[in-house]
A and B are shown apart, each in its own frame.
Chain A
Amino acid sequence: MSFRAKAAAAVITLILLVGLNYVFEGLGDFQIDPYYARIVSLIGISITLAVSLNLINGQTGQFSLGHAGFMAVGGYTATFFTVAWGASIAQAMGSTLMSPLGGSVVMVLSLAVGALSAAVAGLLVGIPSLRLKGDYLAIVTLGFGEIIRVVILNIPAVGGATGFTDAVPITNFFWIFAMAILTIVIVRNIRASTYGRALAAIREDEIAAEAMGVDTTRHKVLAFVVSSSLAGIAGALSGQLFATPLNPANLGFVKSIEVIIMIVLGGIGSITGAVLGAVVITALPEVLRDVDKQYPGLRMVVYALLLILMMIFRPQGLLGRRELSVDWLWKLTRRAPAATPGGGGNVDEQ
């Protein structure tokens, strides 16, 4: 696409988002059922989380178990920023947090704060652990998530165990999906760049990549930092969503696993796969509410079984590294069903 075409696409997306924002947030005369609006918002945040985790777990082949930890770092700093300075910033502009201008500017600033703080955390964790090979990253990131959780519990200013209930609900549909799209664009562009190829090389064979002159540590740390800062953005959005205060109990190991289930389900390394996984895993509990009530706790058992069975029978995830596209679906329908598994893949980096 030329720049002109890209700009046009961006403007159209923007208009679409603004329009949908009216409908979802009930700013105009018509509002979508608030319950569905809420689920869609949660899905948007999950998309950001899953696609960003896929950069490190899927594209680079490293295994992070601490995505929720980075989400927490970004979320708490961003929310704290808004609570502490948001109102005065908005006031300085002659506006308020709840009015369009003030709210938007503070939102952008708090997203930046969230992304930056999570990036710093990613750097601090990534440098020692990414020098090592193997499963250590998994354990260190898990441990990091745990440390973050314990530290947050001990800061009364952000609510401790009660959760950050002082948060100002400035997140809305527009920001959630603008950030989800931004995340997809960033991850896609990295993947298509020389960085992306280096990351893929590391994933396939780290020693060979090093032998070919790829600075593996630098590339791994870079991917890790980008991935964590995007998780920080998801945290900033989630922490400032209406009636969804950040709580250390929700940002532990289990949350990280949930994001991993999303990308494992969708396809390790596929952006559309991650999006698909995020949609399914976020919406499924709502769809299954009544089943859940009859068999409480069974859903997590099913997830666990799904995880094991996927690893045994389709370790690359539903889509693998393939991207879901109109083109591919079209070919799929034209071909015989037998050709499905390998059929006409719209291979990545195209």
Chain B
Amino acid sequence: MKAIIGRFGLLALACVVALSATAGCERKPAAGGANPTTGDIPVGFYGSLTGESASFGISAREGTELAVDEVNAAGGVLGGRKLKLIVEDDQSKTDEASSAVTKMITQDKVVTVLGEVSSSRSLAAAPVCQRFSVPMITPASTNDKITKVGDYIFRTCYTDSQQGRVLAEFAYNDLKARRAAILKDVGKDYSVGLTASIEENFKRLGGEVLPVVSYGSTDQDFRAILTQIREQKPDAIFATGYYPEAAIIVRQARELGITVPILGGDGWVGDSLQGGREALNNCFLSNHFATDDPDPTLKALGQKFVAAYKARFGKEPDAMAALSYDSVYVLADALNRAGSTDGTKLRDAIAATSIQGVTGKLAINETRNVDKPTVIQEVVYKDGAMKFVYKTTIKPN
């Protein structure tokens, strides 16, 4: 056996030599697909329709579908052409996200890719869009790195750093908190990014941040970490995870006698946050839109969207649905301005976007992100129902 492996080693060496001529990665640019000037325009959507974060993917798809149907019902784009939504499931896996996007681009010839919610999957698939020169608009991935992948990658929501700043400022200025504790879900990039930004901004404002406590995505019992936090007597607690855990964290915190305000990001927006019940009082979250926004335009848009969504899907839209809904309008507007489905022209049109969306003013800046104000809402649980009450709007700096 040894001899055979030895000989094989020799051959392996030969491989390396032979490969000297081949292993390069300098590819030819992808052949530009034909851009038919008539017929439906294929638009790709990829999301986690199954797997661990299925609830977000499903919300995002519903928001996207709602907007696509609205656009088509209103006469389509480019003088009457309809958007044809091609939906692919990535099973909440990064590898699948790349495969799905490759498939949509090379097989379905989509002109733009919409998605993903999760930053890790957006980051996996973004290089594919960049390589094939197909614009990608992520409606809800907040990781700062995504739009840095290349000039075809856009984002229509705020970034981790912006949301963290807003939450820190609200806690410091409005709630007068000086000592804050942060709970981080180490298994969710969203939570990790938000935590870093809150920590940095709260310290910048002059507040004190207790050592960050982390938990794993499958944890159900937060009493141990909350007891430890209770002993350090913070004025405010940030729970940066998603809503299912947030509901449990809030409950267990109140059970342990922690009465200070608990704050969360847009990941808190979801129907089952209700599971937190009475414990949800004195909790605040940052959101993309509020149906009771004092700004009349935003209020009208928000209420119209919520009504349409409820009528179609029979439930309250969450943040992912609202953001995905807006991303379609960004695309429709850009298509009209580009006057063509060509990738480069479309890219330039998206880069010049400035429209009013449900989630605020969507003006793409030179880093291919948007600067839009963030709404802070208070959670009110009364008589067996949860409500988000508008508190304030914090403008981007």
Contacts and interface: CB of A to CB of B under 8 A. Distances in A.
A107 B94 CA distance: 23
Contacts of A243: 98, 102, 124-125, 127-128
B189 A160 contact: yes
A6 interface: yes
Contact of B188 (A31, A161, A244, A250): A161
Contacts of B23: 21, 100-101, 103-104, 107, 170, 172, 174-175
Interface in A42-56: 42
A84 interface: no
A91 interface: no
Contact of A247 (B50, B94, B103): B94
Contact of A186 (B5, B26, B127): B5
A14 B131 CA distance: 29
A100 B20 contact: yes
A98 interface: yes
Contacts of B87: 293
A249 B127 contact: no
B7 A3 contact: yes
Contact of B102 (A34, A101, A160, A165): A34
Interface string B3-43: 01101100110111011111111111010000000000000
Contacts of A293: 49, 87-89
Interface in A278-319: 285-286, 289, 292-293, 296-297, 300
Interface string A172-201: 101100100010011001100101000000
A162 B95 contact: no
Chain A interface secondary structure, helix, strand, loop or mixed? Answer: helix
B216 interface: yes
B246 to A, nearest CB: 17
A169 B25 contact: yes
B120 to A, nearest CB: 5
A163 B120 contact: yes
A248 B54 CA distance: 18
B291 interface: no
A35 B18 contact: no
B355 interface: no
Contacts of A206: none
Contact of B27 (A27, A163, A292): A27
Given A22-B22, A104-B23, A243-B125, A289 B95 contact: no
A262 to B, nearest CB: 15
A273 interface: no
A162 B192 contact: yes
B143 interface: yes
Contacts of B30: 34
Contacts of B120: 161-163, 165, 245, 247, 249
Interface string B143-168: 10100000000000000000000000
A153 interface: yes
Contacts, number: 174
Contacts of A7: 7, 11
A127 interface: no
Contacts of B54: 296
Contacts of B396: none
A105 B93 contact: no
Given A18-B19, A160-B189, A160-B192, A244 B124 contact: yes
B228 interface: no
A170 B99 contact: no
A14 B11 contact: yes
A231 to B, nearest CB: 16
A250 B93 contact: yes
Given A22-B22, A104-B16, A243-B98, A150 B216 contact: yes
Given A163-B120, A296-B89, A182 B12 contact: yes
A85 interface: no
A162 B20 CA distance: 33
B257 interface: no
Nearest to B128: A243
B99 to A, nearest CB: 6
A249 B52 CA distance: 9
Nearest to A153: B186
Nearest to A292: B89
A251 B93 CA distance: 10
A26 B102 contact: no
B367 interface: no
A14 B94 CA distance: 32
B107 interface: yes
A27, A35, A101, A107: which has the most chain B beta carbons within 10 Å? A35
B66 interface: no
A207 interface: no
Given A161-B187, A162-B193, 9 more contacts: A10-B14, A27-B26, A38-B98, A98-B26, A100-B22, A154-B186, A162-B192, A178-B12, A243-B127
User: Can you list the 3 inter-chain pairs with the closest CB atoms, starting with the nearest?
Assistant: A162-B189, A243-B98, A161-B189
Interface of A: 3, 6-7, 10-11, 14-15, 18, 21-22, 25-27, 31, 33-35, 38-39, 42, 98-101, 103-105, 107-108, 150, 153-154, 160-163, 165, 169-170, 172, 174-175, 178, 182, 185-186, 189-190, 193, 195, 242-245, 247-250, 285-286, 289, 292-293, 296-297, 300
Interface of B: 1, 4-5, 7-8, 11-12, 14-16, 18-28, 30, 49-50, 52, 54, 87-89, 92-96, 98-99, 102-103, 105-107, 119-120, 123-125, 127-128, 131-132, 143, 145, 186-189, 191-193, 214, 216
